[in-house]
Chains A and B, each alone.
Chain A
Amino acid sequence: MSGEPIAVPEPAIRFVDVCKSFGERARRHLVLDRVNFSVPMGKTTVIAGGSGQGKSVILKLILGLLRPDSGQVLVGDTDVSAMGYKGLQELRMLFGVLFQGAALFDSLTVFENIALPLRERTAFTGEEIRSRVAATLEQLELTGHEEKFPAQLSGGMKKRVGLARALQLEPKIVLFDEPTTGLDPVMTREIYELFVRTRQRLGYTAVIVSHDIPQVFSLADQIILLNKGELDVFTDASQIPYSTKPSIREFARQVMGQQAA
């Protein structure tokens, strides 16, 4: 691997007064309005909210793919929003990302997709890469699908391959962008079980962005709810209806009330 890994002190990620808006001038839409929260090291944080409320924006801000209009995004002690290209590349080595659509490379096979980070970012020999990928394939029950292309896989399998690729460099923090969107309940449960298994084994800090409410709360050590630019943090799903923020209470009533009914 290139360079020494950056040590991540507690908390792993911190948002300080972050504002982010999109669109041009008159049509400007404020997605995050002075947002503050932190993601504790070694824990699972679930970020939930309706669609278009800025959940995926938070992930892109963490990775430095977007820059905040104002405020700071800190990973460890480092301000991501002030980093240059080289610094960002080094920082991203800490992360594994499972994208919403898995973002597998269409023209590469399952094996090549999983081997890519090892080939590009490590000095492993071909043999070492093969054995590592084979081990991952076995853990994620993908053995026998090595030579298939992403277009030949089901939605759940794509997510599993995406997870396998995200975990190849043994990241300290893994970001999940809507890991169960478009999957049936059986597949969803399977992905959650896989998540619990891999986290137990590798002990990474997890940030899960999801609107699979309330199922996804069962994984969470910390829950962050987003609605209309406002944000509230909970350690337990049962606290959500008692939020001090009206828009969060409204959101909880809409979503969780429906679920209860």
Chain B
Amino acid sequence: MNQIEQQPASILRIVGGIGDHALYILTDLGSMGIFLFFSLVGLFKRPFRFKELIKQMGFIGAGSITVIFFTALSSGMVLGLQGYYSLHKFGAEGMLGSAVSLTLIMELGPVLTALMVAGRAGSAMCAEIGIMRISEQIDALECMAIDPFRYLISPKFLAALISVPLLTALFDVVGIMGGYLAGVKLMGVNGGAFFAGMEQSVTNHDIQLGVIKSFVFALLLVWICTGRGYFVQKIRGAGFGAESVSKVTTQAVVISSISVLIFDYLLTAVLL
């Protein structure tokens, strides 16, 4: 009898737990939506923090140049070698320029740039905002009637939206040069054919796709990283204090990286 009585209670607990978690996810998504709205509104509020924008662009953009340069060079060279190996089998080495440039401009450039920036600058932004939250610095801003979005978050948004597409462009150029180095200088593909193939196959539409992707990825990573930091105290299971900031920073990088990959597929499917 006792067991029968307990059965519905445990089922109720499980169903209640699932519902509770679903509500938490909905609330979290809603909060992130409102966060995005206020961050975008903050871009148009005055006074505009020009110095902060330059500082953030220096950090997100200029600071990432080295890592972007080496990632681009290495992936471009690998693409050159791999492309040469595959195309050589069909005697189509002349297509190498076209294969390398299209892959870089439409896929690898935007995706790898976003992943690198998420790992380098996104994690730092999340930790910075998270620490400001737990040490009551964000509360202090609100108490001084200073809008934390305009003051703190929106400059990071704008800096990412400017820097990430520029870094992507740099990635594309360095990557193509890497492909040229490996394919033409090392494997002996005809240099003229490399660039002619690229010129013939890359259209404006392909470049636009790359640019749109880089804007969307920039928005995703800055939104998720700053948003996770902002809500650090409301994230379930994150714990408290320094531990919560470290956990949430890891979470922010993971979520933004996965979102970039998911949106990469969606954008390619819709826009290609």
Instruction: Give me the interface of A with B, judged by CB distance under 8 Å.
Output: 24-25, 63, 65, 89-90, 92-93, 95, 97, 99-101, 103-106, 116-117, 120-121, 165, 169
Contact = CB atoms under 8 A, between A and B. Distances in A.
B54 to A, nearest CB: 15
A106 B151 contact: no
Contacts of A169: 144
Contacts of B11: none
A120 B137 contact: no
A68 to B, nearest CB: 18
Q: Is the interface of B mostly helix, strand, loop or mixed?
A: helix
A86 to B, nearest CB: 10
A121 B145 contact: yes
B147 A89 contact: yes
Given A97-B143, A106-B132, 6 more contacts: A63-B142, A89-B145, A103-B137, A105-B140, A117-B144, A120-B146
Interface string B147-165: 1000100000000000000
Interface in B12-33: 20
Given A24-B20, A120-B151, A103 B140 contact: yes
Contact of A106 (B47, B137, B144, B145): B137
Nearest to A90: B145
Q: Which 6 A-B pairs have CB atoms at the shortest separation, nearest pair first?
A: A103-B136, A103-B140, A97-B143, A89-B145, A92-B145, A99-B136
Contact of B144 (A90, A101, A121): A121
25 contacts: A25-B20, A63-B142, A63-B143, A65-B139, A89-B147, A90-B145, A92-B142, A92-B143, A92-B144, A92-B145, A93-B145, A99-B136, A100-B136, A101-B135, A103-B136, A103-B137, A103-B140, A104-B137, A105-B137, A106-B132, A106-B137, A116-B144, A117-B146, A165-B144, A169-B144
A120 B142 CA distance: 12
Interface residues of B, number: 16
A210 B52 CA distance: 37
A25 B19 CA distance: 13
B140 A97 contact: yes
A65 B145 contact: no
A106 B20 CA distance: 37
A99 B139 contact: yes
A99 B140 contact: yes
A153 to B, nearest CB: 14
B135 A103 contact: yes
Contacts of B145: 89-90, 92-93, 121
A101 B136 contact: yes
A253 B143 CA distance: 36
Contacts of A93: 145
B146 A121 contact: yes
Contacts of B146: 116-117, 120-121
Nearest to B146: A120
Nearest to A169: B144
A98 to B, nearest CB: 10
Nearest to B144: A117
A103 B148 CA distance: 14
A99 B139 CA distance: 9
